[in-house]
Amino acid sequence: MSRLRIPVGSQDHLIGPPTARLTFVEYGDFECPYCGAAYWEVNKVLAAMGDQLRYVFRHFPLTEAHPFAMQAAEAAEAADAQGRFWEMHRLLYENQEALDAESLLAYARTLDLDMGRFARDLSEHRFLERIRRDFMGGVRSGVSGTPGFFINGRGYLGDFSAPALLSVLQGGDVGVPDYS
């Protein structure tokens, strides 16, 4: 249970150099309050680890529990298509209480996206399949809820506060990356 089955690759959203010693993968849901709490902790981790860490975000929307999670994930992908994934990711997590269609359009406007294209990508559900693929990859890797974390391919089930994460990430025994 809980080994990352889908290697990190060019299809992923990632921050940090490919040569980083550590790869930290999160399966997240934009509407999940635990992911919302983890967002701030992960930011602290990224700031503290700098170039030592590569961070990957994959979608894991639990749409039955979170009715806005899928459209929020689609908005992140639509922003990605215009090169602004991480900015949208930030806006979504910092405004978790407002993920309705109108708010998503407002965030896109804030990012100065091509609005026609953004709205079309959402209404045509252009990225739905990609999001489902992320989700199923997570399920098959043993992700059972959100946020689901992997450190160098190994499932991390512990506390996700920044100090706890940093002590594991900086503490040594996190194995070697099983992908390049």
Partner 1 sequence: MARSVKQPDAPLPPGTPAPPIDAPVSPDQRLSLEQFRGAPLVLVFYPADWSPVCSDELSLFNELLPEFERLGAKVVGVSCDGVWCHQAFARERGLHMMLASDFHPKGALSRAYHVYREDDGVCERALFVIDPEGKIFWSYVSPMEVNPGADGVLDALERLTGTFSSEAAGGQSQQEASP
| Residue carrying structure tokens 């997590």 | 93
Q: Can residue 173 be called a binding residue for partner 1 (CB under 8 A)? A: no
Retrieve residue 118's tokens.
């953004």
Q: Within a 10 A sphere around the Cβ of 141, how many other Cβ atoms?
A: 20
**C-alpha torsion sign, points 34, 43, 7, 168:** negative
Q: Can residue 129 be called a binding residue for partner 1 (CB under 8 A)? A: no
Return the range that interacts with partner 1 (CB under 8 A); candidates 77-85, 102-110, 135-143, 163-171: 135-143
Count of residues near partner 1 by CB under 8 A:
15
Q: Cα 15 from chain centroid?
A: 11
Retrieve residue 97's tokens.
């209480």
Return the range that interacts with partner 1 (CB under 8 A); candidates 19-27, 38-46, 57-65, 75-83: 57-65
Q: Can residue 145 be called a binding residue for partner 1 (CB under 8 A)? A: yes
The answer to whether 161 and 137 have CB atoms below 8 angstroms apart is no
The answer to whether 155 and 139 have CB atoms below 8 angstroms apart is no
Closest to partner 1 by CB, 54 or 66: 66
Closest to partner 1 by CB, 17 or 145: 145
Question: Taking Cα atoms as reference points, which of 86, 85, 78 lies closest to residue 118?
Answer: 78
Retrieve residue 47's tokens.
């700031």
Q: Can residue 43 be called a binding residue for partner 1 (CB under 8 A)? A: no
Q: Can residue 63 be called a binding residue for partner 1 (CB under 8 A)? A: yes
Radius of gyration of the chain (CA): 16
Q: Can residue 163 be called a binding residue for partner 1 (CB under 8 A)? A: no
Q: Can residue 175 be called a binding residue for partner 1 (CB under 8 A)? A: no
Coil vs helix vs strand at 151: strand
Select the residue interacting with partner 1 from 71, 96, 141, 152 (CB under 8 A).
Answer: 141
Q: Can residue 38 be called a binding residue for partner 1 (CB under 8 A)? A: no
Closest to partner 1 by CB, 16 or 137: 137
Q: Can residue 158 be called a binding residue for partner 1 (CB under 8 A)? A: no
Could you list the residues that contact partner 1 (CB under 8 A)? 1-2, 62-65, 136, 139-145, 157
